[in-house]
Each structure stands twice: as C-alpha cells, then as structure tokens.
Chains A and B, each alone.
Chain A
C-alpha cells in the first residue's frame, strides 16, 4: 500500500495505516514528497513518483491512499502507473477547485487564493510558516486548528495527536518549503478535466464536518472519476478524524483484495 501525505503533511500521518498494516501484514510505503528536487514539476514530478513506487514494488499491483491534497498528487501519479494500480482510496480529498464553489467553505481559503493569484506572496507566507514550525510549532498548530470541527476538535485537544501533528508540520515546513509550495501551486491550477483519464477503481472517504476539504468535494470527485466505486460519508468527522476512522477499514480490506 502506498500512502500520499497531505500538504502540509508528512509520512508520519500514516501512523494508523502503519499500525493496522503491521497487524494485517500489509506493507505501507509512505514517501516524503517534499524532499524531491523542487525544480522537478508537473508530469515529470508525477512520473518520478510513479517510477519510484514501481521500483519499490517491483511493478506489482498496489493500493494507493491519498490524503487531502495528497489525493490530488496520488491521482496524477497513478495516471503514470498503467496497470499497476489495484485501487485508490481518497481520504478527505481535495477536489479540483474549479469543480465547484468550494473556497468559501475551506479553512485554508486565503492560502489557496494567494497560491492562485500571488504565488510569490504565498511562497513568503510558507516561509513564515516554516519559521513558526521551527520556533513556535505549538502556535502554528493552534492557528491551523483554530477552526477545527467535529472529530478534529477532539483530536486537537489530545496531547498525543498534537505531538504527532507538530512533528508533521516541522517536517513539512522546515527545510522542505519548496516541496510543499510545489504541491499547493499545482493543486490550485485547473485539473478537473484530468479526472476523466483516471482509469482505475477509486473509493472516496470524507467527513461530513470537514472544513479543510468540504464534503461537496467528495461529490465532485464521485461525479468526475469514471470508476468511482463508492463514497463513504462519515458523520461527525472532519479532516484528520476521517483519516483515523477510515484507515483500519482500508487496511483490513487489503487482506481480501
């Protein structure tokens, strides 16, 4: 199973997948995409990720999990893995921004608007977030989770979760900002049309209280992806809580593929 972390994000997010994987004997590959040379962009970037995955899996069929913005990168990468994608699970996935009126419902609205209209200012903001991640990670965490809802609000109050996420934020912003901004600036460009070319089975998991990727994004993905098998909407859950909830089921289903 290959895990694509969010942005911000890091392989550490996959802890629950890793835990369930150990129980079920499922091997989890989670790459830190942000360390890939920042000048590698667009299809070259996705091809590189695809070839790296196929090198590790020796061309065997894999199940791919994409979380948040990582779902976008996962889908683009899978286009370059013809025949070796068994299924893709999109968890709390970001849909193409042009596929609906999503921005007003997104906690990161200003960030995405900056990335769309003022990429250099967005880059400066990301550098500032890097400073916070290094010197005041708790403040950065508090900023990001200020509007947390549902299950995420509960998670944000938990010391273990905070410690995990602070480490994820450090990994994302400290020394890897250009990798992070590459993913965001690519995500905010139009990519709705590419959905029609995703010829592999996809399952969508989304929290109904997700205010990072609004639930309407799950509907948009379902409508745009030709082989979307199911959309599971989870009551009371938001962005990260949906990931924790879906992971055991996704990992368990691996054993009966």
Chain B
C-alpha cells in the first residue's frame, strides 16, 4: 500500500456511517468484496458502478454527492486514467483511492496523474484489497 503524505483532508470529520462512497470496478466479485470490507469498517452508504461510464452517469445526474471514490484502473472501455480525466471535467471534489491489481509502477504513475489533477488522493491499494490497508486510508477521512 502506498500512502502519500496528505494534508488535513476534511475540515469537519465525517462519521463513517454518513460517508457516501462510490466503488468503480468492472469485476463484480471485487465490488462485493470491497463493499463487504467497507461495511465491516462502518461505512453503510455504498454505491457500485461496474464501468467508468456507469460511474459518470451516477455522478453527472447531480443527485448524489460522494465523499470518497474507490477506482479500479484496469477496466474495459474507459480505463481508470481516462475516467480520472472525465472526473476532472465533472469537478469531482471528493477523495480518491486507487485500487488495482497492476504493478507498483502502474500505481505510481496513476497516483502522479491523480495528484496532477488535484484529487485528494488518500492512497493506492493493491488487489486483493485487505481490510487493514483500506482501514488505514479510510481513517484519513472519517
């Protein structure tokens, strides 16, 4: 797990059960796995999207505001890099965790792009996602 040094991320702490989280991954097993871990960590408001396009639909509707997004890099169609580009255009202001089964250098490159795009990057987590890694990153936010 890579935990970049971050400044204070939120001015007012959010309780975990008030946290709205969007998971973006084309693998339904991973979506269930991460949802389960998050629920175990006290997060209850979780929305899943199985593609970048679906995630953008959920975001662009303007009905929902997410505090945190967990993003897979390797997805068919719109990959995580292109998704971040679209996210910038939408003005997403929540936090981001990059989740991927790719190698460290891919994660490293993705985190540089995320920071260039001014996202509040909590860190990167390799797959399979572990509870401890996710908990450590989540504690920066709630």
Contact = CB atoms under 8 A, between A and B. Distances in A.
A16 B107 CA distance: 10
B12 interface: no
Interface in B43-87: 73-74, 79-82, 84-85
Contacts of B118: 154
B4 interface: yes
B116 A244 contact: yes
Interface string A226-253: 0000000000000001001101110110
Contacts of B85: 245, 248-249
B77 to A, nearest CB: 10
B112 A155 contact: yes
Contacts of B11: none
Query: Chain B interface mostly helix, strand, loop or mixed?
Result: helix
A210 interface: no
Contacts of A251: 81
Contacts of A257: none
B105 A245 contact: no
A160 interface: yes
Nearest to A21: B106
B90 interface: no
A164 B112 contact: yes
A217 to B, nearest CB: 22
A19 interface: yes
B52 to A, nearest CB: 12
Interface of B: 4-5, 73-74, 79-82, 84-85, 102-103, 105-106, 108-113, 115-116, 118
18 contacts: A18-B106, A19-B108, A22-B103, A23-B73, A23-B79, A23-B81, A23-B102, A23-B106, A24-B79, A154-B118, A160-B108, A160-B111, A160-B115, A161-B115, A245-B116, A248-B85, A249-B85, A252-B82
